[in-house]
Each structure stands twice: as structure tokens, then as C-alpha cells.
A and B are shown apart, each in its own frame.
Chain A
Amino acid sequence: MLINNGFNEDKIQSPLGYIWSIFKTKTIAVVAMWLMIVLIIISLFAPWFVPHSPLAQNPDSMLLPPYWVEGGNTNHILGTDDLGRDSLSRLFHGLQLTLGGALIITLLVGIIGMLIGAAAALTKGVKASVLHHLLDALLAIPTLLSALILITIFGPSYTNCLIAISLSLLPQFIRSSFLAIEQELSKQYIVAIQLDGATKTRLFRYGILPNILEPTVTIINRLFTMAIIEIATLGFLGFGAQLPQTELGSLIASSMELIYLSPWLVTFPGIAIFAVIIIVNVFSEGLRHAVLEGEE
């Protein structure tokens, strides 16, 4: 049986198009992608989605269970907290802070880290070695500790928590992007570009950037995951978002004492964090596979 019947007159697909065509075949990853888009939309436009204001108290319906449990009602799908505030609305707002914060951090750290990493990889001598040792030292400080230091200095607040997490994740990201770029630099075609007399920027833009897609997807995914976990952790410990703000971690912390009375209040935010991380990871894993297969 002949498979290639007729001359293949399709245009040669662009690499990105090719990756996309591979990605499309991975159903789970595509589903994850759509879920991610939904999540991002929710976190961007949370105030327009929620049925109730996250701060609106209702003394008549305190500690309602979710609607499928006896005693719950459909007005509050996920029930209410101890002040009668709607859990679903608070969850959406929590997503806005947690997921939104993580996105901002990822974007910020991603760009800055990539630039510094590239600069470190492309320069040699004193500058690079100073950067190196500084990175070594910073990497030896666990992110939670550096976040605690920065928050102690600046004082606890949501913004400061984002800044602290960015700063504590930055060294890790620089290191990973540096390693990825350096690995790429040792390859033959980079030498060829260098021999062409390309400038550093040109080398980076055309030689390196298109070829570190796979490691970049991995480290950005990791960065994002860590950012979410850190935001929630700091929120939980009381160093992040302060109380009226409904960050997911601080939601869990503030409902902890109610765990025997209304375990849903602790369960749902945790599941939300869990789901967000799973979705992002499945998406990026699918993307990574597509990139890998595309390169093969």
C-alpha cells in the first residue's frame, strides 16, 4: 500500500506550526489548555463572575455546607464561611490573587531571569564569575527563608509577598536559563553563527532562543508551580496576603480552626491550588512533549 500518494504539495510547516499540530493530537493537554484559559479568565475578571461579593456577610446563613450536602442551598453552591460569606466567590477571588500573582511573578521573573541568564552565559570574565558566585550563594538560601527575610524587612503584605517570592525565585530561574543557554552554546551551529560574525543579540535571538524552547517550557512551568506554592504558603503562614484579602493560602489558614465544624472551608481552597497546579503541569508537559517530538 502506498502511503504518500501524490507529491506532497503542502507547504513545509513552520516549526511552531508543526509543534502545534503535534500538540493538538494530545487530548488531555488540549483540555488542560482550555481549562487554563478559563482559569486565567476567571482570575482576570473574577469580580464579574462571582455571584456574591466575597466580603458580603450574611448572619442568617453562616457555615452553610455545599449545596449537595444536606442543609446547603443552591444560592451558595460551595456553602458559606463562618461569617456567612459565599465560599465560591471567595474562591474565585482567591484564584485572582494566587493565580494572578503567580502569573505576574512568572512573567516578571521569566523576562528578567532570561535576560540575566543570557547575559551571564554570553559574557565571560569577571562579570560572569561575580554573577556566578553570587548565584551560588543565593541558591544556597531556601526560597522560603529568603522570602521570610524580605518580608521581615518590608513588612507583610500581598505586594511585598509577591516581590519577595520574585526575588527568591529569580536566582533559580537565572541558573536554569543559564544552564540551558550554555548547553546550547556548546553546539556546532552556534559556532557557525559566531563565525558568521553575528552580534551577541543576534546570536541570542536567532541562534539560541528558538532552540531552548523545550528547557524553557520546563523551567517556566516549574517557576509558575513554585510561585503558586510559595504565594499560598506565605499566605498560609500569615506573611503574605493579609486577612480581608482572600488569597487561597490565607483562606485555609483562617478556616483552620473551623476544620471540625465545616471541613469544606479548608478543603476547597486546597483542591483549587491542587487543580491549578495539575492543569498547568499537564498543559506544559503536553507542550514539552510536542516540542520534543517536533525537534526529533
Chain B
Amino acid sequence: MALLDIRNLSIDIDTAQGKIRVIDKASLNIVDGSIHGLIGESGSGKTLITKAILGLHNSNWTVTADRMFLGKTDLSKLTHKERRQILGKEISVIFQEPSSYLDPSQKIRVQIESVLPKKTWKQRFRLILTKIKKVNVQSRRLQIKELLHKVGIQNDVAVLNCFPHQLSEGVCQKVMIAMAIANSPRLIIADEPTTAMEAVTQSQIFRLLYKLNQLNNTTLLILSNNFANTSNISDYMTLVYCGQTVESGSYKQIMGSAMHPYTQSMLKTLINNVQFNEHKAQLYTLPGNIPSSNQLPIGCRLGPRCPRAQKICVENPTLTTKKGHSFRCHYPTKVS
């Protein structure tokens, strides 16, 4: 069953040079309980898609979508208040460079406390009682401690009393994850959670995310520009190029029978890493550069770089779906 179902999501941004369509008919289908990788080069619009999902877009954006459902709720029709009910409770987000996403003026303890479910009046009353009589109630402190232990922070007291700038990126990310899972959401979106981290920390974080998925059955959407890294833990993958979702499918479908030339080129880079090339041979890349956002080609945006491009590619190809494996290409070919 699809937890998140997005079809033909488009985002237009107003700039001084007119409207620019940064996301062009992106579709995303996330299966409940799975890990879904959203993979694309930097600037391909991954973050924009998540912002649109969360509803955190600026006023000069125009977001249109045929369908945008989280479970049974239509995300595109939420009021501000309803959206706030979902954010943090049903969808949580983890960002890259976590230390900048933590309020620098507040201690970690305060920040974690603020995301915990709101106290009821009864609890507040008890809290006051604790202060007066030192009654031993199950305090939030314990709750926080548990959370931190869950994400693998052992010296919780020390961390709680720190300001974000006193902690390393890895710990910050763990804190972020702790805050994300505090309300046991159904979907966690991880926006390049390991960028700019050391390799050891990276794998720690990935393991942690994997564990969360396995133990709590939390659905994960992992955004990444690293095909190799992400593909390992993803059940499903979607590839994005210049704001267009080019291909999406299960791990097996993508790795085994990729239909889109862009996916194939990505795979080639991956395979080339595994199988040793000839001595001094060139590593594989697609020819050309990623176009800048105000110089986007029409139709299939891979067009100018695509080895199979033809005249018809100036029109946007329709989405083809086979057994959950979908792609947009005029000339799909399976490469053995």
C-alpha cells in the first residue's frame, strides 16, 4: 500500500527572468514500511520536492499536482493548522548539516522537550507537584533519556546540557533523528543525512536509519546524490534529473532492468567501480553539463546529453508503468 502518493507534481518559481518550472511533473510513490531512495545530482530538485510535500514553500512558488496523498489525507488541500498537525507527528524530517538546523541559542534539552507531545493539564499539575514535593513521577527526563539511547547517544546528560555548536555533526544528526522519532511518525524524510560527514559517522547514521525502519516499521524517504551509498539500503528508488523524475522502481528493477538512459549511466558509474577497468581507461560519464536553472531544455531535460535522443525528445515523454516500475522515456531500452 502506498503511504505517500504523488503524481505529476510541478513547481514554478517566479524570478526576475520570468517563471521557471523547476520541478516538471514529478511522481513519487512510497510503499508503507519501506526505505525509498530519491536519488539525483545536487540541484536536481530533490529538496524542492520534499519542501512541496511538507508545504514549506515560499510565496513565489506555484505548486500543482494531480495527486498528493499521505495515506488518506490530501496534502495539497490542507489548511495551515491541519498541516501543522501532520508535520512532526506523521512526517518528520532530518536534514543535512544538522548543526545548522538546531537552534543555536537553546540547549539540546529544551529543543528535544519542545517536540515531545504536549503536556496535558494533568501532567502539568503533576510537574508542579514534583517541584514542590519531589514526587517521583515518570518524568520527561526519562523519556528524553530513552530517546537518546535509542539513537545511540550514551552520555545523554552531557549532551542535553550542550548548545548545538558544542557538538559534532554526527551527534547533532543523532539528536535530530531522536527529535524526528519522538512522536513515532509514519514517514521520516532524510534529506542527504550524511553529507559532509566522515565515513564512519556516515555508516553509523545509515545503520541507525536502517534499524529504525526494521524495528519500528517506520517508512523512510532518503534523499541522496550518492547512488552507490543509498542503493544499498533502499527497497525502492526514484531517480531525478533536473526536476524530472526519470525512473522509479524497486531495488531489483532499477539495478536489474533500468530502462532510462540516465539510470543506465548512473549504473554504469556504479558498475565501473565494482569491475576494474582497463588501465588508464576513462571513467564513464554522460557528455555535457547539467544545465543551469534558467537555461533548462524543453521536453525531456536529459535531451541534449542523451545518447538516444531524437527529434521527438523535445516533447515530454509520458509516464510508462509496468509492475510498479515506471519511467519517462521515448526510447526506453533495457541494457543487459
Give A contacts to B, CB under 8 Å. 2-8, 12, 18, 21-22, 25, 293-294
Contact = CB atoms under 8 A, between A and B. Distances in A.
Nearest to A18: B16
25 contacts: A2-B21, A2-B298, A3-B12, A3-B18, A3-B19, A3-B20, A3-B21, A4-B20, A4-B21, A4-B296, A4-B298, A5-B298, A6-B298, A7-B297, A7-B298, A8-B294, A8-B295, A12-B295, A18-B16, A21-B16, A21-B17, A22-B16, A25-B16, A293-B16, A294-B16
A8 B291 CA distance: 11
Interface residues of B, number: 12
Interface in B18-72: 18-21
A98 B17 CA distance: 40
Contacts of B295: 8, 12
Contacts of B20: 3-4
A4 to B, nearest CB: 6
Given A4-B21, A5-B298, A8-B295, 9 more contacts: A2-B298, A3-B19, A6-B298, A7-B298, A12-B295, A21-B16, A25-B16, A293-B16, A294-B16
Most buried by A among B12, B297, B298: B298
Interface of B is mostly: mixed
A2 B314 CA distance: 12
A5 B17 CA distance: 14
Contacts of A7: 297-298
Nearest to A296: B15
Nearest to A23: B16
A176 to B, nearest CB: 26
A5 B315 CA distance: 11
A3 to B, nearest CB: 5
Nearest to B12: A3
A155 B20 CA distance: 62
Nearest to A2: B298
B315 to A, nearest CB: 10
Contacts of A18: 16
Contacts of A4: 20-21, 296, 298
Nearest to B304: A7
Contacts of B18: 3
Interface string B285-298: 00000000011111
Contacts of B297: 7
A5 B21 CA distance: 11
A91 to B, nearest CB: 38
Contacts of B294: 8
A29 to B, nearest CB: 14
Nearest to B18: A3
B148 to A, nearest CB: 34
A8 B297 CA distance: 8
A56 to B, nearest CB: 51
Most buried by A among B16, B17, B18, B19: B16
B300 to A, nearest CB: 13
A12 B292 CA distance: 11
A12 B296 CA distance: 13
A2 B296 CA distance: 12
Contacts of A25: 16
Contacts of B296: 4
Contacts of A22: 16
A4 B18 CA distance: 9
Interface in B70-88: none
Contacts of A2: 21, 298
A5 B18 CA distance: 12
Interface string B274-307: 0000000000000000000011111000000000
A6 B19 CA distance: 14
B200 to A, nearest CB: 25
